[in-house]
Amino acid sequence: MKQSTRQWLACATLIAASLGIGGCASWSAQEDLPVSEIRHLQASGALLPFNLLNADVLALHPGGQVEHAALDKIEDRLLYQASVSDPNKMQWFVELDAKNGQTVTDKQDPH
């Protein structure tokens, strides 16, 4: 992925996270994070850079494209959530632990 694309995705993700875009009513105990807290978490190492998280998401679905991403704090855990469209136009919902990039959820999205 080009550096400019990564930067755009990181910026879009940061904006989406700060505005609370991407929430889902079925997720419980969800808390939106302000931009200042996101920056602090990244500086402290508690949150991986968004370009690395995007790369981890796309490694699960080679040739895919991140359609939407958000950072959410759920029950004291930071989760990076992404909707991915693979080359076969299948939609996937991916959640990563935002601190270490480990996969929490990787399932086909029925929507």
User: How far is the C-alpha of 9 from the C-alpha of 42, rounded, in Å?
Assistant: 16
- Give the pLDDT confidence of 6-52 residue by residue, as tens digits: 444 444 445 444 333 333 322 334 556 788 888 999 999 999 999 99
Spatial CA neighbour of 60 closest among 14, 7, 5, 105:
105
**Which two structure tokens, joined as six digits, stand for 31?**
């808390």
Whether the model pTM is above 0.85: no
Amino acid at 31: E
Percent of the chain with pLDDT over 70: 69
- Res. 101: pLDDT tops 70: yes
Q: Are strands 103-108 and 77-85 parallel, antiparallel or unpaired?
A: unpaired
What span, in angstroms and rounded, lies between the C-alpha atoms of 104 and 57?
Answer: 11
| Angle at alpha carbon of residue 93, lines to 96 and 35, rounded to 5° | 55
Sequence spans of domains, the chain:
3-108
Topology at the third CATH level for domain 3-108: Nuclear Transport Factor 2; Chain: A, (3.10.450)
Give me the pLDDT at residue 76, please: 84
DSSP secondary structure string, 12-67? Answer: HHHHHHHHTTT--TT--SEE---HHHHHHHHHHTSS--HHHHHHHHHHHSTT-EEE
